[in-house]
Structure 1
Amino acid sequence: MVAQVGALKIAKPLLLWINDGLMALFFLLIGLEVKREVLEGQLAKPSQIVLPGAAAIGGMLVPALIYWFLNRDNPPALNGWAIPTATDIAFALGVLALLGKRVPTSLKLFLMTLAIIDDLGAIVIIAIFYSGTLSTLSLMLAGACIAALVAMNRMGVVKLGPYMIIGLILWVCVLKSGVHATLAGVTLAFCIPLRTRNAEPSPLKALEHALHPWVSFGILPLFAFANAGLSLSGVTLESFTHHVPMGIAVGLLLGKTIGVFGLTWMAVKTGIAALPSGANWGQVLGVAILCGIGFTMSLFVGSLAFEPGSSEYAGMDRMGILTGSLFAALIGYAVTAAASRRNNTLAS
């Protein structure tokens, strides 16, 4: 597909338009959510960040170490180390929501905050490890766009139109710069004002509200459909035991569980944080397992690590992601449900 305005021409395959273009809107939404949480939500107080922050760090480090250990003798495969570090916030919260009032609200907030910090980690990883050869001119133009966005914010501009126009120009500059284009979405989000001077509706909240249905019911399903395709022809038991899918699946299922639960336990036992109110250790274990649902975020990182059509591991990573995410969802739900029944029985 080709997009052209005057002399400017961008030619990309449809898959890359989805991954570089539509997913920029997904990261725009993540950026809006993060900014709102930092300014007036769960991330506004440092004390509220300690426990989910520790859990998120463990949930990124341990899966990466497991993947590295299983693939340490295969340098080309090591590029996928970040795939099992991601958590699909929508799917993880969706599975937990199936339990309804059986789980305390504090546990849901713990998972949501953990996943938001995890998303921030994914953004940093993409920016540092999955950017291409850099173009100085494009980066300078992107910097000018960011300066304009910051200036509008400081001047009290609350109309979304100017932000979106400059944001589109920023996306093109970032796309041409060699830095991954989705980071333009995060940058734009951080520049959109949350509060206004004259009690006008919040531009950030308005955009967040408008984007949610498009991202949840359009962009993410389309991304998953375009990237999760897996040919089952020739798939054998050996396909699942290859170090790449095995490293991803084990990283998601066991690595996330060990990392999230282990760092949570350490933070509570050392007294630097407290267990979520009304929750027990069994429920925390269930949530730790649910963090292994990587799905769309892992698929996205996988598309950067092993580009479709140019890497022999492009299909293998999807096999590991889908397997690990499925087992994490099923086991995590079962463990959380069992722990919640026990908690409710003791409470009654």
Structure 2
Amino acid sequence: MTVPVLITLDFTPEHIARLQAISDELVIRQVRTRTPEGVAEALNQYPDTEVLYAIRLPTAWRSEWGVRWIQLHSAGVDHIPLDVIPPHVRITNASGIHAVCMAEHAFGMILALRRRLTDMMFAKPWHAWPPDRWALYARPLLRGQTMGILGYGAIGREIGRLAKAFGMRVLAYKRNPAQRADHTFVLPGTGDPEGRFPDAWFGPGELFRLLEESHVVVNTLPATRETEHLLNADAFRHMPPGALFVNIGRGRTVDETALVDALRTGALGGAALDVFEQEPLPAHHPLWSLDNVIISPHVSAAFPEYDDFAVALFAENLRRYLQEEPLLNEVNRQHGY
């Protein structure tokens, strides 16, 4: 018995060798492409593929393709035509492989906002210390403040772990707050698999309660029908004056017009944004002109070891697939993630 595996990413020979070493049953083929059309052509070339590794998927599905399981190279699935893929095909995502990177990125932006590090960078051309430096840069500590984390999955749990290291109170928001453990892919020593760090849990219908208590809000939510513009004018009004807002989830979860208003009026103290409703962010967008906003170009998940971590996850899932064990990070199509 053999299991044909088609990899469409640019994995190195060392990566392929690591995967091949899992079992002699695996027949691994590699066709490098990142487009839906390219993946379709690769499947036409190898229609007996049982396991597909890809970042993009065809927009139409052919009955002669033998795919039974798709491992995605990304955590988000909002760019995937889920309605096209036959229901018998299992889909797993890459959730967890970039949790550390994204949590570090979020905290880097939080510290830059809170300590006004960008102001210090802009002041360098003056070649002098400001006379009012204490008034400018004496900033409230994170320690003792409250962080609200929207989406307590792999990324949110690593952010929660770091927040606890900073001495912060942690509030967690998720679809089912009664389900506190999360046994998806996690790097050893990171995250919060058992859900031990939050001081309180909140579910749908309790968002405003969480926001009212949060000095810093970090959004990691996926883009679904339920989360679209969840962060709107009403939500921002429920945040404490001067609160900080960070978005490393999806741009569609935020009403950007309402966010701009809250930042202009001072209702929010600042925002750090890595994702936007339209990407790249248009040059005329008012967010570019706000001094209390940090913009990063959707790179919070970018780090040199991305493929190494992705292969580690794929290797574990391949082992589980061959042993008929539950796969890590299986996508719930109804939920959209």
**Per the shorter chain, which TM-score range?**
under 0.3
Normalised TM-score (structure 2): 0.25
If asked which structure has higher relative contact order (CA below 8 Å, sep 6+), I would say 1
